[in-house]
Every structure is written in C-alpha cells, then in structure tokens.
Amino acid sequence: MQYDHDSESAFVLVFFDIVLYRTANTGYPLISSKNQSARIKATINSFLDQGLTDKQVIYNKVVDELGVPRPTVRRVARDLRNELLEKINVLQSTMPREAAAAADGGSHGVGARN
C-alpha cells in the first residue's frame, strides 16, 4: 500500500484498512474491550430480565445480537456472575458488632443502660 498523503492521513487510511480487514476476515468489528464488556453485561441482564434461564440460549442470543465471539461472552458472563456474587455476599453478611453499636447510637450514649 502506498499513500500520497501526509503522514497523518496515511496513518488514518492504514488504520481503516486494518479495521476493514479484521472486520471482513473475522466478522467481528473492533470496539474497546471496556465498552464491549459493558454491552455484553447489559445484554445478558436484559435476557435474564426477560425470563431466560438457560445460559447456553443466553450465550447464543448475545453472540447473535452483538456479533461477538462466544469465548468473550463466556468470559464477560463469568465476570458479571462474580460481581453479582460479591454484591450478594455483602447483602447477606452480618454487620460487625462495633458497626451495629454505632448504627443504633452505641451502648455508651445518653440513656444507655449499664
């Protein structure tokens, strides 16, 4: 490939050549992994909200809808599952005694019985 443009224009053209080549040869567009993960998580949550319960069906629908590779969907689903488990653990945990005492005014406050 030869370009008769300045270096910035040549860079842009080469970049788009790479994007088009990758998209044409893999079927998957180039998008940032952070944005891609967020889109996959949102799509998985949407299917869960719709009542889908079979993870293979959910994976297939995400692959079809977003056009991302199945291994990527599985990795992001694992990350989402771990994030949700962390939140569940926080909600299920009991408050430490010091935090509970501080939350209800403590045992040394006004009107405390000893």
Q: What is the residue-level pLDDT of the chain in tens, covering all 114 positions?
A: 555 555 566 555 555 555 555 555 555 555 667 789 999 999 999 999 999 999 999 999 999 999 999 999 999 999 999 999 999 999 998 766 556 566 666 555 555 554
Question: DSSP per residue over 42-90, as a string?
Answer: HHHHHHHHTT---HHHHHHHHHHHH---HHHHHHHHHHHHHHHHHHHHH
48/83 same-domain check = yes
Number of domains in the chain: 2
Q: Is residue 107 part of a domain?
A: no
pTM of the model as a whole: 0.56
What residue numbers bound the domain in which 69 lies?
Answer: 32-90
65/38 same-domain check = yes
- Contact between residue 62 and residue 70 where contact means Cβ atoms under 8 Å apart: no
